[in-house]
Amino acid sequence: MTGSHLSHGLRAALLVLAGSALIAVPFLLALDAAPIVTGVLVGSLTIALGLAGTEPGSRGSLPMSTQAAWDRGLGLGLVLSAGIFGLAGEFAAMTLFGVAGVAALAMTSVTRYSAGTV
């Protein structure tokens, strides 16, 4: 089962990629102001989480338990925002944030948040 775990470097790269997509895609889809602002804010937070978790234990890095909590919170927050956008009739935004949330939760479930080597 250890072969299915993501390394910290890959986790960080995926978060930076996902954050960049959350910033750019609402503009590309010409969504309304609320999804654009949400995408920019959450995307910036996602990039910051990726950069703060590149090397566990190094200066400027978040502790691994904190990384795990923030990753789960990010995923749940994205799924919740997708539900809110769905209730508001913003179905493109609902799809974008829902897919991002499910992907974040899936990434969290396979990331190794321990000090062991991969």
3 state SS for 67-84: HHHHHHHHHHHHHHHHHH
Domains identified in the chain, total number:
1
57: left (phi over 0), alpha (psi -120 to 50) or beta: left
Dihedral over Cα of 30, 34, 36, 38: its sign = negative
Residue 118: inside a domain, yes or no?
no
Confirm whether 14 is domain-assigned: yes
- 92: containing domain: 2-110
79 assigned to some structural domain? yes
Per-residue pLDDT of the chain (118 residues; tens, 9 = 90+): 445 677 777 888 899 999 999 999 999 999 999 999 999 999 999 999 888 876 666 666 677 778 888 889 999 999 999 999 999 999 999 999 999 999 999 988 887 776 554 4
pTM of the predicted protein model: 0.84
How many residues are listed for the chain in this entry?
A: 118
> Given this model, what pLDDT does residue 114 score?
65
